[in-house]
Every structure is written in C-alpha cells, then in structure tokens.
Structure 1
Amino acid sequence: MTAYAIGHLRNVTLNQGIADYLRGIDATLEPFGGNFIIHGGPKDELEGRFTNDLIVISFPNLDAARRWYNSAAYQALIPLRMQGAEGEVFLIDGVDDHHKATDILQGSSFETTVHS
C-alpha cells in the first residue's frame, strides 16, 4: 500500500542549507521509489489559515519510506534542512481505492449496523 512522508515546515528561510538540501534530496528518493506529490506552493485556503509549507512524498510502501528516511544519504541532508526550517516530519500509510470515511469507525463504539 502506498505510504507517504509528510513534512509540515514552518519559518522556512531560503538559505544555503535549504538550497543544498533541495539540490540533494531527489537523488535520495530515487532508490526507494519516492516521488513528490506536494512540495509547498500557493494554497487556496477555504477554512482557516495555513501559512506553513506542506510537503508530501509518496513511496511504494511504508518499508520503503522508512528505509529512505533512515538512509545515510537522507540523514546527511537533515541538518541542512534544519538550517532554514523547523517543523514536523512523519510517515503514514495511505488507504486503498475502496476506502470509505466510515471505515475508521469499525470496531469503535460509534460503529453502526445496517439492517435490511
């Protein structure tokens, strides 16, 4: 199942560290099948304000995402990113094409049973 690396970055300053990070990250993704899905950019804000940057990178699965993040090549870039940004980074599994919003209720006290 597709997995994602999500970066929620604040206070991004385009400096030498960020520039070097950007020049190096693509090569770290390729061996693990990683591809940018979202890489900052303008937002059409519909509810609330989101002034930070959002980065989403897809991977074939969670194992590939973990191997990318823990790779020596990517670990070497993290200090460069931190020279010009702060924020959170996490990995998360995607859902399949048949996922419905109510699927997360399964096994919860809010699960409903449909009667015919």
Structure 2
Amino acid sequence: MTAYAIAYLRNIEFGDDIIEYLHRVDATLAPYNGHFIVHGDDAEPIEGEWSGAPIVIEFPDYDQLRGWYDSPAYRAILHLRTDNADSTVIFVNGCGRDHKATDVLV
C-alpha cells in the first residue's frame, strides 16, 4: 500500500545548506521510488493556523519509505534540513481509492 512522508517546515533559512539539500535529495529518493506530490507550495489555511511549507513524498509502500529515510545517502544530508528549518515529519500509510470513512469503525 502506498505510504507517505509528510513534513511541515517552518522558519526555513534559505542558505547554502538548504540549497545543497535540495540539489541532493532527489537522488536519495530515486532508489526507493519516492517522489514529491506536494513540495512547499503556498498553503491556504482554511481551519486553524498555518505558516510554513507543506511537503508530501509518496512511496510505493512503507518499507520503501523507511528504507529511504534510514539510507546512508539520506542520512548524509538530513542535517542540512534539520539544522536550517523547524520541522514536523510523519510517516503514514495511504488508503485505497475504495476506502470509505466508516472503514475505520471496523
């Protein structure tokens, strides 16, 4: 089942480190079939407060997601982001297109 890395970045310092991270991150995703489906576009707050950049990266499954995050290639650049932005990151499995809201009641 498809899995997602979802990040909420705030207070991003766009210096050399973030630029290097952006240049290198795609190569770390490729071996795990990960790709951005949301990447920092302006978000329109509808409910609650929001001031930051939303990021969503899709992977074929949770094992590929964990493999990417734990990979030596990603670990080598992770600090470039974490040292230069406040972030909240979660991993979550997706649900199929046939999912209904009441499925969580089972």
TM-score interval, smaller chain: over 0.9
Instruction: Give how far 1:47 is off.
Output: 2.2
Q: Is the 8 A contact 1:18 1:83 kept in 2?
A: no
Match of 1:8, SS state, is: strand
Does the alignment pair 1:44 with 2:38? no
Match of 2:14, SS state, is: coil
Shift >4 Å, 4+ stretches: none
Match of 1:29, SS state, is: helix
The one-letter amino acid paired with 2:98 is: H
Match of 1:79, SS state, is: helix
Say what the alpha-carbon RMSD is for the aligned residues.
1.1
Tell which structure's C-alpha radius of gyration is larger.
1
**TM-score (normalizing by structure 2):** 0.94
Aligned twin of 2:14: 14
Aligned twin of 1:34: 34
**TM-score (normalizing by structure 1):** 0.86
What is the rounded CA distance, in whole Å, between the counterparts of 1:11 and 1:105 in structure 2?
38
Instruction: Give how far 1:87 is off.
Output: 1.4
Instruction: Give how far 1:92 is off.
Output: 0.9
Percent of pairs identical after alignment?
45
Aligned twin of 1:61: 61
Match of 1:23, SS state, is: helix
Encode CA deviations 1:3-54: one digit per residue, 9 max, x unaligned: 0011111111111111110010000000000010101111232223311211
